[in-house]
Structure 1
Amino acid sequence: MTATALAHDVGLTLAPCHRRLREMESNGVIRGYRVEVDPAKVGLGFEALVFVTLKDRSNLKGFEQEVAGIGQVIDAQRLFGEPDFLLRVMAEDLPAYQRFYDDVLVGLPGVEKLTSTIVMKHVKTGGRLPL
C-alpha cells in the first residue's frame, strides 16, 4: 500500500503519516519491507517442512548458527518439546531436495532424527498480525 493510501485509510494527511511511519521504523515496530517472489517462477517449486530432533542440547547453538547460513532453509523455528526445530526448505524438485537432505541436513551438528513432509498446497500465506 502506498503512503498516500495509508494516510487516507487512517485519516491523516501525507506528512504526518510519513512522520509516524519513520517513527515506527526507528522504534523497530516496523522491521522492514519485502517483495514476494513466486518460488515456482524462479525454479524453486518444491517445498518441504523438516522436523529436526537433536541428540542433546550440546549442539544447539552450532545447529542454529549453521542453519541460519543455509539459503535453502527459508524459515527455522525452535520448538518446545520434540521435535526441537521446524525448518522450511525450498528446492527445485524432489531429486534436488533429496540431494540437499543427504548432503546438508543429515550433516548438521547434533542431528539425531529428521522427518520431512512435502507441502502440497498453500492455503494461506503472508499472514499479518491481528492488529
Structure 2
Amino acid sequence: MDDIDCKILAELQKDGRLTVTELSEHIGLSVSSCQRRLRALEQAKVISGYRAIIDPAAVGLNFAAIVFATLRHMTTQDVASFEDALQNIPEITCAERLFGDPDYMLHVVTQDLSTFQTLYDRSLLALPCLLRLTSTIVMKSICRDRSLPL
C-alpha cells in the first residue's frame, strides 16, 4: 500500500458510491490505473465490501445497548459455539472479543426497551457457554461508522 492507495481508500470512505471516473478525478490518476488499483485493493480484501450507512432511528431502531458477556470457560469449542450463535441474532450490530473480563462486548439495537428485554430474555440469555451478562443503555451515539484515519 502506498500513498495513492491510501487516497483511494480515504475517498471511498467518504463516498463509497463514487464511480471509477469520479474517483480517478479526485485523486489525480488515470481511470485505468485507478480501476487497476481499486481491483487490487478489493482482491487483497483491503476493501471488504460496500454498503449504505443507515440511521437506526430512521428505521424505528430507537434503542441501543451494550451487553457484556462472560463465558463459563474459554475453551476453543466454547468460544466457537458462542461466536457462531452470535451470527444468528441480527440485533447484534457489532460483537467484539475482549482481553480480560468480560470476554465480549455486544452492540445491540432494538425498537425500544421492551423489545430489548424480550431479546435479552429469549436470545441473549440462551447463548451457549454463558456465565454472565451485564448491560448498559446507550444514552447518545457520538461517533458511529467513523472512517479509518488514513
Q: Shift of the alpha carbon at 1:13?
A: 2.1
User: 5 Å matches for 1:100-115?
Assistant: 100-115=119-134
- How many corresponding residue pairs? 131
Q: 1:10 aligns with which of 20, 23, 27?
A: 27
Structure 1 ranges of 4+ moved more than 2 A: 3-6
Q: Shift of the alpha carbon at 1:8?
A: 2.2
Q: 2:140 aligns with which of 99, 121, 125?
A: 121
Asked if the contact 2:89/2:123 (under 8 Å) is kept, the reply is no
Deviates more, 1:4-13 or 1:114-123: 4-13
Give the distance between the partners of 1:30 and 1:60, measured in 2 at CA.
27
State the AA in 2 paired with 1:73: I
Q: Shift of the alpha carbon at 1:96?
A: 0.4
Aligned to 2:69: 52
Give the distance between the partners of 2:108 and 2:145, measured in 1 at CA.
17
Q: Shift of the alpha carbon at 1:128?
A: 2.0
Q: Does 1:25 align with 2:42?
A: yes
State the AA in 1 paired with 2:129: G
Give the distance between the partners of 2:142 and 2:108, measured in 1 at CA.
18
**What per-residue deviation string (whole Å, max 9, x for no partner) do you get for residues 65-85 of structure 1?**
101221111111111110000
Q: Shift of the alpha carbon at 1:27?
A: 1.6
| Identity rate, percent | 44
State the AA in 2 paired with 1:28: K
RMSD between aligned alpha carbons? 1.3
Q: Secondary structure at the match of 1:40?
A: helix
Q: Secondary structure at the match of 1:76?
A: strand
Give the distance between the partners of 1:102 and 1:66, measured in 2 at CA.
15
Aligned to 1:89: 108
Q: Secondary structure at the match of 2:66?
A: strand
Q: Does 1:42 align with 2:69?
A: no
Give the distance between the partners of 2:21 and 2:101, measured in 1 at CA.
47
Give the distance between the partners of 2:62 and 2:136, measured in 1 at CA.
15
